């Protein structure tokens, strides 16, 4: 076994804490030695740093954080899944402090939210000796081999082993690919079979003879109930009921369910399917999205239990029938299979930081057409595990106008959890851009404005930070600004940001050096966060779910983005009517907007004013539980550049080590 | 830890054997009790049987078979991966007995090869107390949700837990999907970028400035070597060398690399890609295959080490350049990334049978366009683990004319392993079909000829068995016929098959009842196999690799299929010339032919004579290491029927058990 259950119920938090302390103290000395060596060669790439420290066995970490052996499923030596029955064991335990990390509007390079999340937990856990958990998203594998590289944090603030984190992990994203594409195959196959068979033939195949008689499967009984047919004997249906039951009558032009791959394959953005003679001329235009954009990923992130996931997976709407009814995965008969495919993915994945503190890596929904936050389940389990004096630090994707707003209005609404503190990551680089600095482009050298002191640009650009602080304050939660320092930043620049942040109403603002120094560089941030958790908090949502769809969108656009108003274009107007009629009007809103500006135009930096936010269309993720208005066109599958990252990636056959991930 | 290394080097086989014995004796009593209960209700479905016995913890099984704790990576409680460094530890150990299970030409329902494989190891291991391993293929997930259902064996001869076996397992197939599709994305992206950039721009992007200078990646150095350019300084290349290096100049019509999904999605059989405006009008026809048809799956099955896999993955030919050169994954720069994606998939997966004996589940290449056999690595490790008195039973897909022929001529050629015995599975049902019985169709009731005694049909149909025995004898290996008995078979029928088999030169022929009785029903088979292993064996290949391509194909067609000759159609003739010129002429041959007849026509049963085998085209799997002639049209991605299996599949939210897999 992976370690006998040494801990007694009721005693686990204290015991867990003690184990962490002593576990950490030994481990920490090793870490310091190994990090000291590396500080001498500070140009090391992330993967060199990642593999320079041997991770502790994951079963040991599991024991340290108070998990019992029957609650843990090992996946090799450095990853484990946590079984959901732990929630029952811990149901009476009080939660720890809940911290969400967000950021100002970033440059295309990113401003270090993930790195700050990891640096902060390393500070709180390994240096301040508090129980702590980081909860982060699993990255898509597409960008790992494309432009971006890995997403495990950076420098001396990373999740390790970073190659496990960035590649298959425990297969959750692969399970989503399989589940998503089973739905897609079922949709087209069903349309095909309906088009080539009579009602009676269709019915006889759907409810086949088993021995002497026909029998509905439980999933078919669910569909009958939805149709208002209260019969369980297949021979009792009238002809009209048979037709209603057997024909989904999907309008092909209404299909919103796309196939997915976790690959940057731009040639799948728009395709024509069904061109083999075996499909008898039934062709249609379709597309692939990146897997993390699948609604199933959003379901995984928002679900609260296996039973709840089963219900959400069954409610997903894939198309509309010719008569205007929403067609669900339950209607297709595939909802149970989806649950089976996702039964392991629902369990959070345990890993560790470079300094040996625990991390849950779980779910990674796209941050524009979905809500961009890691899973509710991981946060909930972590909050119980750390205990009332402990800290759970979770990260929201993109800037505060997107990821944080969705964190509050969608994730917290479904989870019932209330954060104690918002950590807002700011950088000199991004603020200078907002102050009017030249364009920042990935892969190009930074213009000199960004590597030399320029207080004027910086001060002007602080407007964006001010607005994002205000955005957090709309929700009544204290804000700590974390200034993620780069080596080209000057003292005066860093001071200026801190002063401006405090003047804008931040609870505190501190400089952080966790990229270069690990947790030691984020202790001041940890202390500020600890103090902020004691500050008064008065959480409220931004909008009421019962408001009309357009009103909810308008509130986000005006209060968070600073728009004068919204404009619903015809498709969007039509969807408002359709979804209201279909009964989806009271879902929360998940804006699909560029993250590079508070407005809908990526090149408008700072705090754009006087704009009308155009809503091109609206889509529904009924299973996940939100409507997503499309503001402009969102690419949903990235492409590969001329020289993708994969040119540098290889396995060293001598050592079995992965080279070239960064 | 998962169990301290209690065993000392050199002592492991004996120690391992002892542990197996005592482990089994306790376990076996529990098993007998639990099976006794179930024999009373013999109509149980496979999944009911599968979950009726609690599997032993996989770390315990790993210890029982002599694996050390640092050689095992647990994947939950019922699956583990075995690390390849075990091969070094066991390099001086003698191999066990090597048994391959194959079959007569089957009906579309299958004749129970997998079930016999599992029943045989249960007999040898749990009843005859010998060290034993079954080596089986991982099934594709597509058919699990389509028509066929699971593939874990059946009745009381199964791999458990069957839902783990049939679903994600440890993610190997998912890794192949990811790796395969990265290559596909790289091909189209490269063609696109080459078509939109000058040579110089392309070169500057492929070999970018890093600081002050440009540097080739190791993969790029490999391409330079292939081009005969012995330079390592990017600035030293001439303009002509730059063009040759930077332009792969792929002929889009020559692309043989397809995208894959492990889903039965018929609408992806033929598609048009690149229709988004971002691809600027570069569209082409393409297709998806089922993942197990990917060449990467064949590489996984045929590789002997991580280093060898790296080389095979680099040699895969994806297309031809406009000037006729083969374009490889190494030319695309993606070979290292493929190796990284496959670094865990290369480790065999340990599971167990219903009677607690060990099973390796590893690789599952398509049995027509690939070679349809589980991995060489699993067989090799298992042969060392069982020791010289132990048995490894491995299964070859389809009938003996396909799976067994490829097992010998491809798998054994690459592995260097030589089997001691061929077990040929025969059924009354299939032999009656070969004798002229009515058509057998999946999903339809069996005609009465198959459920009533009919010695005449049966005797006539034994011609197929005789031919398949002869096919095995071409390789000089003794044959034991396993008659997989159904409850409708009569004594006289079973006797007749055994008599006919022995008359045809089989070493022995025995009836088996492992489906209904577990290993106890296959003890007679186990004893026959044990005796046959002592019989003289004089292994030889069917053809020499140095023969011309057409001659090798002709030898298989004439000697194995009974054809008069072959006919190379124009495409095939062209490929013979192309591959010979490109230097691939000495690869072994992997025939892509229907498994439902010895000939190329599925409805010709028995032993067809007087036919010319048409070769429509030939393809090359250069990385896996074979040429595959296409005999007729092979569907490479299945479809979903009107009522797919998934209608019955669901998770019980109370018990977390999977319902409806069978």
CATH architecture assigned to B173-339: 2-Layer Sandwich (3.30)
Q: Is B75 on the interface with A (CB under 8 A)?
A: yes
Q: Do A306 and B651 touch (CB under 8 A)?
A: yes
Q: Is the model's pLDDT at A26 over the cut of 80? A: no
Digit-coded pLDDT (tens) for A380-390: 999 999 999 99
Please give the ipTM for the structure prediction. 0.93
**A343 to chain B: which residues are within 8 Å by CB?**
651, 656, 658
Tokens of B30: 């529990």
Between positions 166 and 195 of B, the ones with CB within 8 A of A are 167-168, 170-171, 174-175, 177-178, 181-182, 184-186, 188-189, 192-193
Digit-coded pLDDT (tens) for A355-400: 999 999 999 999 888 999 999 999 999 999 999 999 999 999 899 9
Q: Do A340 and B649 touch (CB under 8 A)?
A: yes
Sign (positive or negative) of CA dihedral A600, A601, A605, A607: negative
Q: Which pLDDT score, from 0 to 100, does residue B36 have? A: 44
Q: For the ranges A19-33, A609-623, B111-125, B246-260, which has the lowest average pLDDT?
A: A19-33
B166: distance to nearest CA of chain A, Å?
10
Within 10 A of A77 (CB to CB), how many other CB atoms are there?
20
Distance CA A136, CA A397 (A): 10
Q: Which pLDDT score, from 0 to 100, does residue A42 have? A: 45
Q: Which pLDDT score, from 0 to 100, does residue B211 have? A: 77
Mean pLDDT across chain B: 91
Catalytic hit among B216, B366, B486, B662: B486
Digit-coded pLDDT (tens) for A47-90: 677 767 789 999 999 999 999 999 999 999 999 999 999 999 99
Q: Is the model's pLDDT at B477 over the cut of 90? A: yes
Digit-coded pLDDT (tens) for B86-103: 999 999 999 999 999 999
Q: Do A336 and B646 touch (CB under 8 A)?
A: yes
Digit-coded pLDDT (tens) for B631-659: 988 789 999 999 998 999 999 877 888 88
Q: Which of B642, B652, B654 to mutate to test the interface with A (most CBs of A within 10 A)?
A: B642
Report the residue of chain A nearest B265, measured CA to CA: A185
**Residue B134 — very low, low, confident or very high, per pLDDT cuts 50/70/90?**
very high
B497: Cβ contacts below 8 Å, ≥ 6 apart: B426, B428, B431, B458, B462, B465, B481, B483, B509
B523: distance to nearest CA of chain A, Å?
33
Q: Would you say domain B12-171+345-532 falls under CATH 3.30.200.20?
A: no
Between positions 35 and 64 of A, the ones with CB within 8 A of B are 57, 59
**Residue B322 — very low, low, confident or very high, per pLDDT cuts 50/70/90?**
very high
Q: For the ranges A131-140, B265-274, B444-453, B565-574, which has the lowest average pLDDT?
A: B444-453
Q: Assign a CATH topology to domain A12-169+344-423+514-523.
A: Rossmann fold (3.40.50)
Q: Do B337 and A650 touch (CB under 8 A)?
A: yes
Counting every residue, how long is chain B? Answer: 662
**Residue A153 — very low, low, confident or very high, per pLDDT cuts 50/70/90?**
confident
CATH architecture assigned to A549-630: Roll (3.10)
Digit-coded pLDDT (tens) for A98-119: 999 999 999 999 899 999 999 9
**A170 to chain B: which residues are within 8 Å by CB?**
171
Q: Is A200 on the interface with B (CB under 8 A)?
A: no
Buried b / exposed e over A30-60, threshold 16 CB at 10 Å, is ebeeebeebeeeeeeebbebbbebebbbbbb
Q: Assign a CATH topology to domain A173-333.
A: Domain 2, N(10)-formyltetrahydrofolate synthetase (3.30.1510)
Q: Which pLDDT score, from 0 to 100, does residue B9 have? A: 26
Taking each helix axis from N to C end, the angle separating B455-473 and B491-503, rounded to the nearest 10 degrees, works out to 30
Counting every residue, how long is chain A? Answer: 662
B339: distance to nearest CA of chain A, Å?
6
Answer for the pair A173, B258: CB distance below 8 angstroms, yes or no.
no
Between these two residues, B639 and B44, which has the higher pLDDT value?
B639
Q: Which of B377, B375, B397, B374 is nearest to B385 (CA)?
A: B377
CA atoms within 13 A on the CB side of B392: 29
Q: Is the model's pLDDT at B430 over the cut of 80? A: yes
Sign (positive or negative) of CA dihedral A223, A227, A230, A232: negative
Tokens of B572: 């095939």
pLDDT > 70: percent of chain B: 92
Give the nearest partner residue to B193 out of A202, A339, A642, using CB atoms. A642
Q: Is A22 on the interface with B (CB under 8 A)?
A: no
Show me where the domains of chain A are located: 12-169+344-423+514-523, 173-333, 549-630
Active site residue B430: no
Distance CA A193, CA B639 (A): 11
A265: Cβ contacts below 8 Å, ≥ 6 apart: A288, A637, A639, A640, B181, B184, B185, B188, B189, B259
Digit-coded pLDDT (tens) for A268-283: 999 999 999 999 999 9
Q: Is the model's pLDDT at A430 over the cut of 90? A: yes
Digit-coded pLDDT (tens) for A640-649: 999 998 999 9
Q: Do B168 and A171 touch (CB under 8 A)?
A: yes
Between positions 361 and 420 of B, the ones with CB within 8 A of A are none
A627: distance to nearest CA of chain B, Å?
25
Q: Do B279 and A261 touch (CB under 8 A)?
A: no
Q: Is B196 on the interface with A (CB under 8 A)?
A: no
Catalytic hit among B367, B501, B520, B572: B367
Q: What are phi and psi of A73, to 5 degrees?
A: -115, 115
- Residues B206-228, mean pLDDT to the nearest whole number: 92
Distance CA B586, CA B579 (A): 9
- Residues A409-415, mean pLDDT to the nearest whole number: 98
B453: distance to nearest CA of chain A, Å?
22
Q: Do A273 and B267 touch (CB under 8 A)?
A: yes
- Residues of A tagged active-site: 113, 115, 137, 148, 367, 398, 486, 515
B183: distance to nearest CA of chain A, Å?
10
Q: Do B168 and A174 touch (CB under 8 A)?
A: yes
Between positions 259 and 288 of B, the ones with CB within 8 A of A are 259, 261-276, 278-279, 285, 287
Q: Is A75 on the interface with B (CB under 8 A)?
A: yes
């Amino acid at each position: 076994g992976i370690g006998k259950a040494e801990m007694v119920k009721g005693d686990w938090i204290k015991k867990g804490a003690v184990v962490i302390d002593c576990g950490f103290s030994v481990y920490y000395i090793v870490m310091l030695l190994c990090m000291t060596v590396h500080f001498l060669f500070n140009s090391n790439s992330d993967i060199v740093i990642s593999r320079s420290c041997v991770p502790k066995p994951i079963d040991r970490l599991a024991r340290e954080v108070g998990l019992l052996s029957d609650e843990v499923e090992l996946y090799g030596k450095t990853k484990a899944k946590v079984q959901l029955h732990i929630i029952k064991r811990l149901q009476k335990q009080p939660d720890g402090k809940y911290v969400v990390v967000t950021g100002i509007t970033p440059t295309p390079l990113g401003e270090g939210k993930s790195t700050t999340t990891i640096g902060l937990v390393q500070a709180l856990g390994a240096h301040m000796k508090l129980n702590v958990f980081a909860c982060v998203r699993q990255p898509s594998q597409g960008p790992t081999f494309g432009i971006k590289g890995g997403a495990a944090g950076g420098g001396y603030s990373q999740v390790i082993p970073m190659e496990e984190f960035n590649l298959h992990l425990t297969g959750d994203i692969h399970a989503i690919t399989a589940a998503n594409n089973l739905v897609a195959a079922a949709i087209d196959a069903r349309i095909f079979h309906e088009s080539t068979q009579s009602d009676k033939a269709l019915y006889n195949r759907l409810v086949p003879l088993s021995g002497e008689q026909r029998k509905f499967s439980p999933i078919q009984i669910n569909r009958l109930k939805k149709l208002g047919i209260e019969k369980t004997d297949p021979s009792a249906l009238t002809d009209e009921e048979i037709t209603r039951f057997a024909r989904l009558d999907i309008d092909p032009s209404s299909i919103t369910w796309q196939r997915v791959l976790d690959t940057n394959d731009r040639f799948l953005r728009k395709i024509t399917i069904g061109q083999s003679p075996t499909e008898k001329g039934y062709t249609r235009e379709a597309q692939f999205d990146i897997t993390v954009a699948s609604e199933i990923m959003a379901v995984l992130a928002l679900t609260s239990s296996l039973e709840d996931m089963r219900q959400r997976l069954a409610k997903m709407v894939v198309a509309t029938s010719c008569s205007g009814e929403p067609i669900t995965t339950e209607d297709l008969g595939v909802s149970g299979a989806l649950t089976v495919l996702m039964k392991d993915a629902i369990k959070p994945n345990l890993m560790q930081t470079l300094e040996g503190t625990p991390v849950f890596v779980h779910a990674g929904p796209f941050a524009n057409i979905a809500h961009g936050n890691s899973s509710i389940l991981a946060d909930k389990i972590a909050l119980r595990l750390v205990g009332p004096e402990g800290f759970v630090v979770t990260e929201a994707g993109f800037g505060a106008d997107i990821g944080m707003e969705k964190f509050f209005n969608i994730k917290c609404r479904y989870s019932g959890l209330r954060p104690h503190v918002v950590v807002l990551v700011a950088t000199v680089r991004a603020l200078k851009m907002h102050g009017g600095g030249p364009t920042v482009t990935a892969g190009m050298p930074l213009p000199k404005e960004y590597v030399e002191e320029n207080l004027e640009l910086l001060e002007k650009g602080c407007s964006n930070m001010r607005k994002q602080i205000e955005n957090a304050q709309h929700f009544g939660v204290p804000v700590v600004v974390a200034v993620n320092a780069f080596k080209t930043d000057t003292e005066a620049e860093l001071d200026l940001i801190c002063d401006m942040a405090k003047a804008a109403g931040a609870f505190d603002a501190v400089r952080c050096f966790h990229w270069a120094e690990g947790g030691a560089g984020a202790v001041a941030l940890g202390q500020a966060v600890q103090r902020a958790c004691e500050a008064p908090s008065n959480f409220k949502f931004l909008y009421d779910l019962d408001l009309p769809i357009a009103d909810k969108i308008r509130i986000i656009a005006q209060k968070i983005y600073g728009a004068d108003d919204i404009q619903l274009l015809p498709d969007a107007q039509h969807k408002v009517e359709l979804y209201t009629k279909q009964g989806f009007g009271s879902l929360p809103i998940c804006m699909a907007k560029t993250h590079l500006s508070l407005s809908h135009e990526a090149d408008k930096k700072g705090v754009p004013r006087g704009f009308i936010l155009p809503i091109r269309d609206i889509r529904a993720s009924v299973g996940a539980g939100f409507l997503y208005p499309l503001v402009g066109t969102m690419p949903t599958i990235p492409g590969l550049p001329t020289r993708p990252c994969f040119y540098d990636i290889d396995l060293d056959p001598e050592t079995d080590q992965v080279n070239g991930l960064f």
